[in-house]
A and B are shown apart, each in its own frame.
Chain A
Amino acid sequence: MEIKDYIGTPTGAGIIHVERGSVSRFAHAIMDANPVYHDLRASEAAGFTAPPVPPTWTFSANFLGARPEDQPQDSTGEKGNPIVKIMQELMKGGGLMLHGEQEFHYHQPVQCDDVLYWQSKITDIYTKESKDALMTFIVTENVFSNADGAPVVTEIFNLIHRGK
């Protein structure tokens, strides 16, 4: 299988519970003491019905809010996350894996007590020649939706392999 054949392949899916403790701790860790994240009174004054999440919170959501008992069936068909295989393939010749770019598109606010349904897939793989290395870019799109199926956040993750 050529690496580019992985374009379109699902990389995972899951269900996230947005919990207050994780949101408050995450906000403190990015040096954000804004009471809107920590104190329900401030959240309500800002127009939310529960504390909202900081802009990059969803990137860690799978660690912060997944409950094993309600996860959906493995969207990769038990083949595992293809990114792991792609990385192994690329690293055979050495080099370095880097988080090159990260993008968030916000469709609706996310706040505590929300339940989010995410689904991710590889949307592009391309190469670029730089001065002294071949760079391979692997783009993954992760869409978080609410219970009605409406998207709330789309994440675009660009992983780079810098070959030798």
Chain B
Amino acid sequence: MSETIPKLQYDAISMGDEGPVVTLQLSRTDLVRYAGASGDFNPMHTDEVAAKEAGLPSVFGHGMFSMGLLGRALTDWAGVGNLKVYGVRFTRQTWPGETLSTKIVVTGKEETPDGKIIAAELTLLNQDGEVKLSGTARVLAT
């Protein structure tokens, strides 16, 4: 059984505090790599010819790739092993060439029988501020 130490200091966290920003200019290579590593080979994410035949301007990103990227910002912030709940709603597709960035904002603090919990609101946005993903997380603090 592993024993990880939460990275966030409960008393030092305030409402409205923000987590680290992870930024990525999305490329087709990123989507092919995610397809290979996740097993999701839906051609709408990897095959430009098939995507155009289906009437799309190009391939678009896997929703779970976006969730993975936002999850990386979360674990950078709270430390790997300290997530309790992580949920998202997929609101818009992501497109190659867009610059995606993560946003984590603290919305709550709570001492529970399971430990000290920080609640946060999450978003993944493009360069124009368009929301691709919105969600919430609950993470352990010390």
Contact = CB atoms under 8 A, between A and B. Distances in A.
Question: Does B bind A?
Answer: yes
User: Chain A interface residue count: which class?
Assistant: 35 or more
A105 interface: yes
A1 to B, nearest CB: 28
A34 B1 CA distance: 21
A28 B33 contact: yes
Contact of A47 (B4, B33, B40, B68): B4
A29 B68 contact: yes
Contact of A55 (B39, B63, B71, B89): B71
A46 B79 CA distance: 9
A32 B67 contact: no
Contact of A30 (B3, B4, B34, B63): B34
A47 B79 CA distance: 11
Contact of B67 (A31, A34, A56): A56
Interface string A29-40: 111101011000
User: Chain B interface residue count: which class?
Assistant: 35 or more
A103 B75 contact: no
B87 A56 contact: no
A36 B7 CA distance: 14
Contact of A106 (B24, B63, B69, B83): B83
Interface in A100-132: 100-106, 108-109, 111
B88 interface: yes
A30 B79 CA distance: 16
A25 B67 CA distance: 16
Contacts of A3: none
Interface in A35-86: 36-37, 46-49, 52, 54-56, 59-60, 63-64
Contact of A26 (B38, B76, B87): B38
B86 A30 contact: no
Given A47-B5, A102-B67, 8 more contacts: A25-B37, A29-B33, A46-B79, A46-B80, A47-B4, A59-B38, A102-B63, A104-B86
User: What 8 A-B pairs are tightest by C-beta distance, nearest first?
Assistant: A63-B39, A30-B68, A103-B87, A29-B37, A47-B4, A55-B71, A60-B38, A32-B72
